[in-house]
Structure 1
Amino acid sequence: MSSNLREVFTDTVVIAADAPSYEYWKSGYYDSIPKAKMIALDTISSFDAMLARYQSKEFEYAESISDKLSFFDKLFDQIEAFFSSLFPAPKTDFNEGIFNILAIVGGIIFVFLVYKFIMSRNRVYIHHQVEEEEVQQVDFVERNLMQIDVDAYLSVALEQKNYALAIRYLHLMNIQLLGRKGIVEWNQSKTNGELMEEVENAELKNDFLDCASLFDYVWFGGFEVTESSYAKYEERFVQFQRRWS
């Protein structure tokens, strides 16, 4: 061994000899640490039972809260969101009392609009029912035109101020007159043009055409007939019936 290597080895041994000695390096140092006691089996079973209680569906929090809301809860949330959109929270300082008043006024307006909507739908429904009854009534009169008293139906239409329907009954009275005289053969499916072809008298045909054109103008044209305009139209039908009865 060279002198240089001998010097290095000597220095290392000296450093190692001077290193501090720690207690926890000694053999058996850790034997004095108390060991943990084993958990009893009945304690483990109790823990498992407790854990099982929290595995039920009511303790599942992963699902959305909205899934647990009832129909009415969702409805009230939507209504609240609607009013919130009408009256958003002010960004600046605002008197809370005024804000509440505006919210109440908005609620009243909303209820009023809903009421008007429902009532308008009811009126449409009632009007639709009246139209159906009217159609059925006219159909009955036309099917039994040769045996029925049309004047009674005319009186009811005038009482109801349904002047367009009254004009129709006046026109049917003209046809009834011609049918009972044997001038035309009445059938509900026949048109005014087909009935006029059965009329041989030229003057009678012109008068019938004049009244039929007026009926078409009022009934199929959809024009509103007032009491005063009805009086003028009625006179032409009455003249026809007086002349050819």
Structure 2
Amino acid sequence: MRFTYAFVILFLLNCCAWAAKPLKGKAVLRNDSSIVQLKHFDDAELARLKQKPEFQYKSETTGPSLWSRFWRWFWHLFDGVDTPQHTNLLFIVLKYLFLSLGIAAIVFIVLKLAGVDVRGLIKRKPADARIPFTETLENIHEIDFDLNIDQAIAEHNYRSAVRLLYLRALKQLNDAQLINWQIDKTNAAYINELTNANQREAFAVLTRQFEFVWYGEFAINSQAFQNIKTLFSNFKQTLA
């Protein structure tokens, strides 16, 4: 340990002695004798270059773009929101809002490219009718209307109940010899066969109600069904 201290002291003393040693000789300031050749710009070449379009640096002052004006208007709506807490909350809400819109747009594009009916996914499909007949393809004289209507109402399948009411109205018109029911006729044909103007107008209303509910695939509730059922009951009384 003593040897280490002695070595450090001797090293420092040697450095001090070297630093204090005077320099030999005298500093001499010498002049630069090199020859400098001055060069000048070619004025003619500068004038020619100034005429080229790529060297025309003109600043054009234009107004803000539509995108900039939109964001200026958008942020102007929040001029009153100047506290740090409100500003942070606003940015968080906007961040997730735009993120959600972006994800929704991507999902929509992917589904459309895949051929998926997006509207069909959003629109709730009404309950399917579980009856083996239609208003044109089956014999209306072979249907037990009272039984099937009561069953449809019990199952809250009001669309099927409206369909059965319409088929029964066709049978009532045919039994009263006001129309000539045929398996291949359309609803419009039956309306045109009615000679009584009041009956024709009333049955046209029933036809629109039926087509709106059935072909429009609108799910109706109990109250709406009762209103439609009343129309069919009133129409039946006109046939008496």
**Larger relative helix fraction:** 1
TM-score by length of 2: 0.44
Higher relative contact order by CA 8 Å / sep ≥ 6: 1 or 2?
2
TM-score by length of 1: 0.43
Q: Which protein shows a greater Rg?
A: 1
